[in-house]
């Protein structure tokens, strides 16, 4: 007996349903994280150490939480981040997320390792719907160049280069289940060895030599904004600004890469004061992902200075359990939570979100 969709009242409820109904291998791939999963846990725990200092007697009859990300207007400050192998959870794969993103006017990031082909995901978009490309850089740069140029030609509005994965992390839950990827479009011309789990089997083409010196080359082959996904220290945010990229995602890949990496929200709290001190806060758009499950998490990130946040697993779980209707409801729940919590904090628009609305004293001292 599957719980009714109407009985999912928040994003965590979808995870509980997915754990019960998903095939072991698919659940293992989606839910797993590196080593002892300490960073996975921390991605949630860090948000729980931030408290609010709400303002009273502010007119919040109307609250407006629309914003822009890389120049695109969105209904709410989150995007659907790139997650590989959508068909493990749902026969139709990533296009389910495309349709839900359309309905809620949010941006979808298309993964290099999607189950659907890139063109299928582009074709599933409608009208002026905006999509971004997540890029794993191939050792064969000619392949990478073709992917980037094709994405730009098909209208992608941002190039997110994943920089936290010179090698895929050890996700032992995934390795143990040793399952075969059923419906993947993923072709990289490499012999795949499934004994290490799904993730490692499909990622052997990724170039571990990728480095800062390569960024100008990316700049030379595309006009899309370039964003580095997986930045984990303020020093590298400063380097990213120097390299002239348009954004960074402070992220530890959902805890799936280096265990004991800090959470994105903590790296954000470390980063913004330095940028403000140096007068650099307007030079780059800062995003975070990892562990965002509530609108209060989104609000905390925006108060600290993020332009927006990425959300991964919750939409995969909603899709796996209920298809489009699940993802639709998950996004609507976030909008409902957002409206209420903006009111309760005393902010009528995202411009009014700032550090003074929070107490972060226990974020680092705990």
Active site residues: 136, 164, 253
What b/e sequence results for 223-258 when a residue is b if at least 16 CB atoms lie within 10 Å of its CB, and e otherwise? ebbbbbbbbbebebbbbbbebebbbbbbbbbbbbbb
Determine, following the binding rule CB under 6 A, whether residue 254 of this chain makes contact with ligand FNR.
Answer: yes
- DSSP 3-state assignment of 232? coil
- Which of 72, 251, 263, 296 touches ligand FNR by CB under 6 A? 251
What single string gives the DSSP state of each residue in 302-330?
Answer: HHHT-SEEEE-HHHHHHHHHHHHHHHHHH
Closest distance to ligand FNR from the beta carbon of 313 (Å): 4
- Does 341 participate in binding ligand FNR (rule CB under 6 A)? no
Closest distance of CB 164 from ligand FNR, Å: 8
Map the footprint of ligand FNR across residues 259-298, applying CB under 6 A: 289-292
Least Å from the CB of residue 119 to ligand FNR = 18
CB of 219 to ligand FNR, least distance (A): 20
Closest C-alpha to 33, from 170, 197, 158, 168: 170
Under the binding rule (CB under 6 A), the answer on residue 162 touching ligand FNR is: yes
Q: Which of 87, 104, 313, 329 binds ligand FNR (CB under 6 A)?
A: 313
What does 61-77 look like in DSSP terms, one character per residue?
A: SS-B--EEETTEEESSS
3-state secondary structure of 335: helix
Q: Which stretch binds ligand FNR (CB under 6 A): 20-28, 64-72, 121-129, 307-315?
A: 307-315
- Cβ–Cβ < 8 Å for 101, 69: no
Tokens of 358: 């929070």
Q: Are 125 and 131 in contact (CB under 8 A)?
A: yes
Q: What is the dihedral of CA 309, 313, 319, 324, to 10 degrees?
A: 0
Shortest separation between residue 269's beta carbon and ligand FNR, angstroms:
18
Task: Look up residue 264 and give its two tokens.
Answer: 């994105």
Q: Based on CB atoms, which residue is closest to ligand FNR, 63 or 261?
A: 261
Q: Which stretch binds ligand FNR (CB under 6 A): 53-61, 76-84, 329-337, 345-353?
A: 76-84
Does 72 sit near ligand FNR (CB under 6 A)?
no
- Closest approach, Cβ 254 to ligand FNR, in A, equals 3
For residue 148, what are the CA distances in angstroms to 100, 134, 152?
25, 10, 6
Quick note: the x/- pattern for ligand FNR over 38-57, rule CB under 6 A, is: -----x--------------
* Residues from 105 through 124 that contact ligand FNR (CB under 6 A): 111, 113
Residues contributing to the site for ligand FNR (CB under 6 A):
29-30, 43, 81-84, 111, 113, 134, 162, 229, 251, 253-254, 256, 289-292, 310-313
């Amino acid at each position: 007996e599957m719980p009714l969709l109407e009985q999912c009242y928040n994003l965590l409820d979808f995870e509980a349903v997915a754990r019960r109904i998903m095939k072991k291998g698919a659940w293992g791939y989606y839910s797993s994280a590196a080593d002892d999963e300490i960073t996975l846990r921390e991605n949630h725990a860090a948000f729980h150490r931030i408290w609010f200092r709400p303002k009273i007697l502010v007119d919040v009859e109307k609250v407006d939480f629309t914003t822009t990300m890389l120049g695109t207007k969105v209904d709410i400050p989150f995007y659907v981040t790139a997650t590989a192998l959508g068909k493990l959870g749902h026969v139709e794969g990533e296009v389910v997320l495309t349709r839900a993103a359309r309905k809620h006017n949010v941006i979808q990031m298309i993964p290099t390792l999607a189950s659907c082909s890139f063109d299928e995901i582009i074709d599933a978009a409608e009208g002026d719907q905006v999509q971004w490309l997540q890029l794993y850089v191939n050792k064969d740069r000619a392949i990478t160049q073709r992917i980037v140029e094709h994405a730009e030609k098909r209208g992608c509005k941002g190039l997110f280069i994943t920089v936290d994965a010179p090698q895929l992390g050890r996700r032992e839950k995934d390795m143990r289940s040793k399952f075969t990827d059923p419906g993947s479009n993923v072709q990289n011309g490499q012999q795949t060895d499934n004994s290490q789990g799904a993730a490692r089997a499909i990622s052997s083409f990724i170039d571990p030599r990728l480095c800062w010196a390569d960024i100008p080359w990316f700049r030379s082959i595309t006009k899309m904004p370039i964003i580095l996904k997986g930045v984990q220290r303020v020093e590298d945010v400063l380097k990213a600004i120097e390299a002239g990229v348009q954004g960074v995602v402070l992220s530890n890949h959902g805890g799936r890469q280096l265990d004991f990496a800090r959470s994105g929200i903590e790296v954000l709290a470390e980063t913004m004061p330095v940028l403000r001190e140096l007068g650099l806060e307007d030079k780059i758009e800062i995003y975070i992902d990892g562990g965002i499950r509530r609108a209060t998490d989104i609000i905390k990130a925006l108060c600290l200075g993020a332009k927006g946040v990425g959300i991964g697993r919750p939409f995969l779980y909603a899709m796996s359990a209920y298809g489009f209707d699940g993802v639709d409801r998950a996004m609507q729940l976030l909008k409902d939570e957002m409206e209420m919590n903006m009111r309760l904090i005393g902010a009528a628009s995202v411009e009014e979100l700032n550090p003074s609305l929070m107490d972060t004293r226990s974020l680092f001292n705990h």
